[in-house]
């Protein structure tokens, strides 16, 4: 058929990068893996609770990808982990820390603020979106909790409106 290497690749998990804007997010998942080009990377997946970007609505997901072969990306990963863990000493965030955070799921459920902004790279003059992370204040944590409850209610309402109703009678299968 012509799809060389098809049998060797893993399916993509999709991914939805942050777009320029300000967000309040809940961390859903943090993991590391090897890219298709055999480069180590970490991925931080988040659920958007509050957003000022119409394209990234509350309830949608967004993620950040950090590549080990890019010094700036590694520095950004260290910074986000320092913020998430409320750690002031960069020396405390090590490779072993990443493995421990991933294994113990330390970041899951954490509420953080994200400012996503455009940056033009020096190397090839390419515009990319970077994320600046911060701890959420107590008021923002409360706002996030309320937003999360509202999203769950909306999800249940949408599901009940669009999914078929359960029936007490059994249907015949062919």
Name the phi and psi angles at 115, rounded to 5.
-115, 110
Residue 87 sits in a domain whose CATH number is 2.40.50.140
C-alpha 69/C-alpha 39 separation (Å) is: 7
Residue 78 lies in a domain: yes
Write down the pLDDT at residue 139. 86
Q: For residue 95, give its domain range.
A: 14-159
Residue 64 lies inside a defined structural domain of this protein = yes
Q: Token pair for residue 14? A: 């999709």
Q: What is the pLDDT of residues 37-76, one digit of tens each?
A: 888 899 999 999 889 999 999 889 999 999 988 888 899 9
The packing angle between helices 71-84 and 95-104, to 10°, is 50
Q: Which tens digit of pLDDT belongs to each residue from 107-133?
A: 998 999 999 999 998 888 999 999 999
Secondary structure of residue 91 in the 3-state scheme: helix
């Amino acid at each position: 058929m012509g799809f060389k290497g098809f049998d060797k690749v893993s399916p993509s998990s999709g991914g939805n990068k942050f777009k320029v804007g300000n967000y309040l997010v809940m961390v859903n998942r943090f993991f590391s893996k090897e890219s298709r080009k055999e480069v180590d990377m970490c991925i931080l997946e988040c659920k958007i609770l509050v957003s000022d970007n119409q394209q990234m609505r509350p309830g949608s997901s967004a993620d950040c990808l950090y590549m080990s072969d890019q010094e700036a990306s590694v520095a950004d990963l260290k910074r986000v982990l320092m913020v998430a863990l409320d750690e002031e000493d960069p020396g405390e965030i090590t490779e072993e820390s990443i493995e421990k955070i991933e294994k113990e799921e330390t970041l899951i459920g954490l509420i953080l603020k994200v400012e996503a902004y455009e940056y033009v790279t020096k190397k090839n003059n390419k515009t990319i979106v970077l994320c600046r992370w911060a701890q959420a204040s107590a008021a923002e944590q409360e706002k996030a909790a309320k937003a999360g409850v509202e999203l769950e209610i909306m999800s249940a309402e949408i599901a009940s409106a669009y999914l078929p109703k359960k029936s007490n009678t059994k249907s015949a299968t062919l």
